[in-house]
A and B are shown apart, each in its own frame.
Chain A
Amino acid sequence: DGGITQSPKYLFRKEGQNVTLSCEQNLNHDAMYWYRQDPGQGLRLIYYSQIVNDFQKGDIAEGYSVSREKKESFPLTVTSAQKNPTAFYLCASTKLQGNSGNTIYFGEGSWLTVV
């Protein structure tokens, strides 16, 4: 089945550790995104990428890093510099078709908790 797969679903991080969240899509989408969701709040954009080997910072990129070595994959690393990483992380993707009405599709999300 086509879709966006995020893993792991649940992840626990110790203070000072880096962790990487995986996001894979088999939809042949061009653009991929990472959003962070805190309880009771909306989604905030961390990073996005519209083509392979290129990505841009979103609104809250500090303490995070990404790579886009393959079209299908857009992993997010939460570094030890991110002071408050406990949140729900959502990966998304879309096919770029030259207008702003493209539907963005989301994965099932990954819960990260600092212990």
Chain B
Amino acid sequence: GNSVTQMEGPVTLSEEAFLTINCTYTATGYPSLFWYVQYPGEGLQLLLKATKADDKGSNKGFEATYRKETTSFHLEKGSVQVSDSAVYFCALSYNTDKLIFGTGTRLQVFP
């Protein structure tokens, strides 16, 4: 079946460090891929998305490229800030618009 696997956290970084959060997926066909962010005590907000192979989603300095050959959608940011501290979820949707989520990766950024 369809599934999403994310790297386990927490990921702990100093401010201005480079961030990578790995995400791989298993799906039949060609799903759409998403990154959502959850700040403490809040709901999820869409960070970026890509709907077909080789698409790059980007927002607020974050980027992720839909890699069909490696079934991956890794999240990257060149220079993180303390305000980026949150839980990041990778997700896919396929046909029925139901989202299938990974388990989430907590990012902690220290000054």
For chain A residues 68-115, which have a beta carbon within 8 Å of chain B?
90, 92, 94, 96, 99-109
Q: What residues on B are CB-neighbors of A101 within 8 Å?
A: 32, 49, 51, 93
B97 touches A106 (CB 8 A): no
Chain A residues with CB below 8 A from B83, complex form? none
A45 touches B98 (CB 8 A): yes
Tell me, in angstroms, the Cα distance from A49 to B94 when the chains sit together: 16
Pair B103/A41 contact, Cβ less than 8 Å: yes
Rounded to whole Å, the gap between the CB of B33 and the closest CB of chain A is 9
Q: Does A64 contact B (CB under 8 A)?
A: no
* Chain B interface SS verdict (over half): loop
CB of B111 closer than 8 Å to a CB of A: no
Residues 20 to 62 of chain B near chain A (Cβ within 8 Å): 31-32, 34, 36, 41-46, 49, 51
Q: Mark A32-59, 1 if CB is under 8 A from B, else 0.
A: 0100000011111100101000000010
A31 at the interface (CB under 8 A from B): yes
| Whole-angstrom CA separation of A99 from B93 in the bound complex | 10
Docked-complex contact A107 and B43, CB < 8 angstroms: yes
Please tell me the number of chain B residues within 8 Å of chain A, measured between CB atoms: 24
Measured CB to CB, the nearest residue on chain A to B104 is: A42
Q: How far is the CB of A97 from chain B (nearest CB, A)?
A: 9
Whether A42 lies near B102 (C-beta < 8 A) is yes
CA distance A112 to B93 in the complex (A): 27
The contact sample of 28 A-B pairs, CB cut-off 8 A, is A4-B43, A6-B43, A33-B98, A33-B99, A42-B103, A42-B104, A43-B44, A43-B89, A45-B98, A50-B97, A58-B98, A94-B97, A96-B97, A99-B32, A99-B51, A100-B32, A100-B95, A100-B96, A101-B32, A101-B49, A101-B51, A102-B97, A103-B34, A106-B36, A106-B43, A106-B45, A108-B43, A109-B43
